[in-house]
């Protein structure tokens, strides 16, 4: 997959079980294998982080994802989520973890909180500049590989503080 591939994130409102995660990825792989834009096949892949955050990458070097193809992806994610009781479209979740974790490792235990609770912890100094956050605003695969996991002090969150 090209480093310039676009990435899209969906954060579940609850953690999936290992079994549900495996089943979701199987259904999603089937969808992505047939995903197209105006009749042209799209090359895409998916990764589920901590059974909670879905990262989808699409290599647009041969075919670009169009509005219609992105609508079909969103519809698939929405309907699949409804079938398992998960809302993937609530954008108010923040994932963070202590600063002693390897920045290049997406795995491991993440704390998942609503944005207002995250800010309350920041105000109480429980979230520090070194706290690692999952930055779901990255837009390319290269950015995801280099700064998906980033210290609070280098994330978009700091500009809101």
Helix boundaries (H) for the chain: 18-34, 67-84, 115-123, 141-147, 156-160
End-to-end C-alpha distance for the chain, whole angstroms? 35
In terms of Cα–Cα distance, which of 126, 133, 130, 123 is closest to 157? 133
- Phi, psi at residue 28, to the nearest 5°? -65, -40
- Residue ranges per domain, the chain? 6-84, 93-160
Q: So what's the pLDDT on residue 36?
A: 94
Q: Which residues of 83-111 are buried (b: 16+ CB within 10 A; e: fewer)?
A: eeebebeeeebbbbbeeeeeeeebeeebe
pLDDT in 10s for each residue of the chain, 161 residues:
899 999 999 999 999 999 999 999 999 999 999 999 999 999 999 999 989 999 999 999 988 999 999 999 999 999 999 999 999 999 899 999 988 767 677 777 889 999 999 999 999 999 999 999 999 999 999 999 999 999 999 998 888 76
Query: How far apart, in whole angstroms, are the C-alpha atoms of residue 83 and residue 76?
Result: 11
123 burial (CB, 10 Å; 0-12 / 13-18 / 19+) is exposed
Q: So what's the pLDDT on residue 161?
A: 65
């Amino acid at each position: 997959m090209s480093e310039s591939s676009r990435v899209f994130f969906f954060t579940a409102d609850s953690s999936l079980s290992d079994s549900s995660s495996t089943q979701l990825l199987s259904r999603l792989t089937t969808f992505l294998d047939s995903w197209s834009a105006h009749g042209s096949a799209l090359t895409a892949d998916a990764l589920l982080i901590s059974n909670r955050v879905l990262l989808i990458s699409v290599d647009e070097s041969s075919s670009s994802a169009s509005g219609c193809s992105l609508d079909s992806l969103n519809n698939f994610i929405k309907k699949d989520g409804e079938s398992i009781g998960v809302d993937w479209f609530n954008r108010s979740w923040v994932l963070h973890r202590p600063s002693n974790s390897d920045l290049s490792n997406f795995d491991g235990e993440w704390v998942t909180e609503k944005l207002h609770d995250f800010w309350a912890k920041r105000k109480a100094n429980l979230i520090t500049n070194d706290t690692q956050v999952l930055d779901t605003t990255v837009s390319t695969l290269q950015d995801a590989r280099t700064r998906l996991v980033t210290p609070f002090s280098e994330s978009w969150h700091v500009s809101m503080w």
